[in-house]
Chain A
Amino acid sequence: MIFDTLRQAIATEQPAALATVVAGEQLGAKLLIRPRSDPLGSLGDAGLDTQVVADALAMLDAEQSSVRDYSIAAGAVSVLVESYPPPPHLLIVGAVHTAIPLSSCAKQLGFRVTVVDPRAAFATRERFPDADELVIEWPDEALPSLRLDRSTYVAVLTHDPKLDDPAVRIALAYPVRYVGAIGSPKTQAARRQALREAGLSDEVLAQIYGPIGLPLGSKTPAEIAISILAEMIAVRRGKIGELRVAGAVGR
């Protein structure tokens, strides 16, 4: 019953976390946690269930699996929480030259890749043999119909404010994990000003990674792709804060 629901969540790429008592009373008891759904099962103690649900949702968001020890009336228990996040999804806006190595390297890292560009001459299967999906539409038409959640990473690469600015604005309206935008500090400042005038707060604008990518000194499109993916990995694995403190992430 619990396994069937977990299996269904994995098959449909919905996030889920499975908690199991691995030491203490009720050995083997299970609790399945899904965002926006009631938990399924029980670890044998209502207070423990409540505590584990809260911890599991945070761990699921951070894509972490680990054991924690809890103290309940019946004694100490150890609970394993296994996170089953959906596979990460990279949404590339702009079928530009850099997008080609970005698409193929992201596939190597296990990302599902979607490329959005209204210019049919750019977004071709010949240029993007590895992409899962090519969407030949304007970003403001395409993005709202795509999956934009905690497993989504958005890289905005066209250099054209007509395409880039709406893409950044829409991506920031969803709980996506990462929004990076290409362009020099001057371009970034102009974009932030335009988005500020469109009503976005400074707090929201601070979520943009721009200039996109870790400052590796990249020159070629493939090197730029690696710097973008390195930044995405650091965000995914919870290391971006340390890099920022160390001065390695520019804003």
Chain B
Amino acid sequence: MHDVLPLIDQSRAQGEPLAVATVVRTYGSAPRQVGSKMVVTQGGAMAGSVSGGCVEGAVFEECRRTLKTGQPKLLTFGVSNEQAWEVGLACGGTIEVFVERLDW
């Protein structure tokens, strides 16, 4: 959380909507622990990470989507995923990431 607080504080002070992605579960070897966060603002600024960099692109897009729809979503990434070649984890682990709008 601490690595994303500056961006959260800044965008909330400006009244700018933002989305938060949080690592919920990890299976096998995963680079970031449960609770690790990535934040994306309406303006497209981003902070933090949920993996070693392998799935941040896809999570960024999901954050943009949830900013539009307001719908939270649980995402799963891993080598068993059909998109593995695209957004799989190099380390061979699986992670679940919860994406939501920070409106609570």
Contact = CB atoms under 8 A, between A and B. Distances in A.
A and B associate in one complex: yes
Given A2-B104, A27-B72, A65-B34, A84 B1 contact: yes
Interface string A2-34: 110001001000000000101100011010000
A80 B98 contact: yes
Interface residues of B, number: 18
Interface string A64-107: 01110000000000101011100000000000000000000000
Contacts of A80: 22, 24, 34, 98
Interface residues of A, number: 20
A206 interface: no
B6 to A, nearest CB: 12
Interface of B: 1-2, 5, 8-9, 22, 24-25, 33-35, 72, 74, 96, 98, 100, 102, 104
A28 B24 contact: no
B74 A10 contact: no
B5 A22 contact: no
A55 B5 CA distance: 26
A1 B104 contact: yes
A82 B100 CA distance: 15
A28 B34 contact: no
Contact of A3 (B25, B98, B102): B102
A157 to B, nearest CB: 30
Contacts of A67: 24-25, 34, 96
Give the residue among B8, B25, B98, B102 with the most A Cβ atoms within 10 A. Answer: B98
Given A20-B98, A80-B98, A28 B72 contact: yes
A3 B72 CA distance: 16
A22 B74 CA distance: 6
16 contacts: A3-B102, A10-B1, A20-B22, A20-B98, A20-B100, A22-B74, A27-B72, A27-B74, A67-B24, A78-B24, A80-B22, A80-B34, A80-B98, A82-B1, A82-B22, A82-B34
Contacts of A82: 1, 22, 34-35
Given A80-B22, A80-B98, A23 B74 contact: yes
B19 to A, nearest CB: 12
Give the residue among A2, A22, A27 with the most B Cβ atoms within 10 A. Answer: A22
Contacts of A27: 72, 74
B34 A22 contact: no
